[in-house]
Structure 1
Amino acid sequence: MQKGFRSFSPMAAMATLLLLTILQLAVHGSAQAPPPGTVTIDGVSYAGDGCPSGSVAYSVSDDFQALTVMYSSYTATTDQGLLNTRKRCTLTIKLNYPPGFFYTLGTVTVRGYTKLDAKVKGTVRVTYHVSGRVGSGAATYNFYGPTEENFERTESFANGVSSECGRVRDLNIVTEGRVHPGKPPKTGIITVDSTDLKLTEIYSIKWNKC
């Protein structure tokens, strides 16, 4: 499992899924949220075939309210048959927040670009779970060819699980990108657009008092 911050050069391949993840850690103005400045990110680690060593960069905002993660080698493509049509990456985020609060993930907004041939399906699936807790939340985005579009979609996590009062647990987020080429196999891509090749996900966290 890899850790740390590292920069990278742009990808040249067309059939690529790159992810930019922004985790909103507090809802400003909410009476149920921890006081400003009391929620921090103590570390991020990652693992999976969608995020090989050295391919992930992340940064934390000055106010500790947002985490930005970028993957430089998250490639879901039909170029090599079925070999690279599915990629997966798991993030483990070490949160630190004051006692007396617990959280769930509310929604995830995905922005991107997709181009799929007829009878080709593209899927982005995001799941999360809290370490030591039973259950997980999931949000799935499906795209059907023929299509070429810029998109922005917001979904609520189904069957969301919360952290527990009195214990601070790691937040685990799994993102999977997949292109289903169909029969006979055709081509497809999922990315943010033809210019900067990123897919953006924005997570909202719902805080509650114990």
Structure 2
Amino acid sequence: MLLSLSLPIVMAASVFAVTVPMVAAPTAGPAGFNVTSLDFLGTGCPPGTTYYVLNAERTALTVSFSEFYVEIGPGIPISRNRKACQLSLGVSVPPGFTFAISSVDYRGYYQLDSKVKVIHSMVCYFKGELVQDTAQSEVVGPLEGTEYTWRDTFDLGLGPTIQAPCGSSTVLNVNSNIRINNSANPEGQGYLATNCFDPSLVIPMHIRPSIFSGSGAEVDD
């Protein structure tokens, strides 16, 4: 039997324009499944620039960032051309269950001159595990200032999607990296940040717990 749990993460940053459908409201996970901790590390989320709220059941998470943006152009320091943030989620997993990421959504705002390029990459992995899920996309200007929505998806049944160790507490690391460059147009400018009217980027992270048999094999219901 497969259950579905959604953890909406709100993030003040942005990447890439693809229209995606609305995400269903979070559903309750199994008893004992909850987020136990959340830590941040990186240039896009220095101390004092991140805020988060857990729901009463500790199964839905909202995080906001104020420094996860990139920009480029004459006179702009190179330090603003690239930002990264690693979210480390401590998760309690009840016996007989595991979970995996199925998708991550982003919404925000960007403006790019001709040939200015933005690259977003993401790596997800569980602490102590070698297998990783990765995703990367890029967009090239010219693009007038506009809002966008973009989605990373992961194959939960057919591909090498990572899963938490069955029935144990674990730490899920989500490492997001945003880069912008104007090497093809050195005078070009670009900016990738939040929508100034809604300064947040919603990232629903869908978690899929699965029931396992005592032998560790997944049970098909």
**TM-score of the aligned structures, taking structure 1 as reference length:** 0.78
Deviations 1:122-179 (A, max 9, x none): 1222221011211111222322200133222223137421111143211111111221
Moved over 4 A (4+): none
**Alpha carbon RMSD of aligned pairs, Å?**
2.4
- Residue in 1 that maps onto 2:49: 55
* Whole-angstrom CA distance in 1 between matches of 2:191 and 2:154: 25
The 1:28–1:198 alpha-carbon spacing in structure 2 relative to 1, beyond 3 Å, is closer
Query: In 1, are the aligned partners of 2:69 and 2:192 still within 8 Å (CA)?
Result: no
- Residue in 2 that maps onto 1:83: 79
* Whole-angstrom CA distance in 2 between matches of 1:150 and 1:133: 36
The 1:160–1:180 alpha-carbon spacing in structure 2 relative to 1, beyond 3 Å, is farther
Give yes or no for the alignment of 1:206 onto 2:208.
Answer: yes
- Residue in 2 that maps onto 1:176: 177
Give yes or no for the alignment of 1:153 onto 2:150.
Answer: yes
CA shift, 1:106, in A, is: 0.6
**Count, aligned residues:** 185
Give 1:23-38 correspondences, 5 Å limit.
28=27, 34-35=30-31, 38=32
Secondary structure (helix, strand or coil) at the match of 1:83 reads helix
CA shift, 1:120, in A, is: 0.7
The 1:135–1:59 alpha-carbon spacing in structure 2 relative to 1, beyond 3 Å, is same
Query: In 2, are the aligned partners of 1:19 and 1:69 still within 8 Å (CA)?
Result: no
* Whole-angstrom CA distance in 2 between matches of 1:152 and 1:93: 24
Query: In 2, are the aligned partners of 1:45 and 1:93 still within 8 Å (CA)?
Result: yes
Gaps in structure 2 of 5+ consecutive residues: 1-10, 15-22, 213-221
Give yes or no for the alignment of 1:133 onto 2:129.
Answer: yes
- Residue in 1 that maps onto 2:120: 124
Structure whose CA Rg is larger: 2
Gaps in structure 1 of 5+ consecutive residues: 1-16
